[in-house]
Every structure is written in C-alpha cells, then in structure tokens.
C-alpha cells in the first residue's frame, strides 16, 4: 500500500509518502488510522481530529469506513480552501 501525505500533514510527519504492508485485520481507512497511531505518536497528533482530515482511496474522495487493501493508494490531506 502507498500512503501519501499532503500540505501540513506532510510537513508534520516529515515525509510525503510511505509504503506499508497491511496486517490482514486492517480492512478500512478508520482501522488504518488506528494502526498508524499505534506505530508512532506523530500520526496520533495529526490524525486524531478526523473531522478536519480528508481521505482519498485510489484518487477518489472516500469516507473513513471505505474498504482498503494492500493494492490501494491512500492519501491524507487537509481540507482545500480557496479564494
């Protein structure tokens, strides 16, 4: 699985993407977030307020209960603002 991070999320984590192999019990984005939070406290600080984070699965906006697999690309980014 490829996980991509954008904007201030990327800056706080110090990386724009990473490749991981999901354990079999991780089947949706919400579970992925829990898994990442257990890996490092940096993730918890950034992803704890899911209401301000947007997620895309395979380049399509998705919900946190969207199904995922090791073949997917997941992207986390803050809401886009315009002006």
Q: What is the domain-level CATH number for residue 19?
A: 3.10.20.30
Decide the pairing of beta strands 54-57 and 73-77: antiparallel
Mean pLDDT per 10-residue interval, the chain, length 83 residues: 95 95 96 93 87 94 97 91 59
Q: Which two tokens stand for residue 56?
A: 């895309």
User: Is 30 part of a structural domain of the chain?
Assistant: yes
How many structural domains compose the chain?
1
pLDDT of the residue at 83: 54
Q: How far apart are CA 57 and CA 33, in angstroms?
A: 13
* Helix (H), strand (E) counts: the chain: 3, 5
H/E run at residue 19: strand 17-19
| Residues 29 and 69 sit within 8 Å (Cβ to Cβ) | no
Distance of CA 61 to the CA centre of its chain: 12
Which residue range forms the structural domain that includes residue 22? Answer: 2-77
């Amino acid at each position: 699985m490829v996980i991509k991070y954008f904007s201030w999320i990327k800056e706080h984590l110090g990386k724009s993407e990473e490749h991981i192999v999901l354990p079999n019990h991780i089947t949706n984005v919400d579970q992925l977030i829990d898994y990442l939070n257990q890996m490092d406290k940096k993730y918890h600080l950034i992803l704890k307020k899911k209401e301000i984070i947007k997620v895309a699965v395979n380049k399509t906006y998705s919900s946190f209960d969207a199904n995922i697999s090791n073949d997917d690309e997941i992207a986390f980014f803050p809401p886009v603002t315009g002006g």
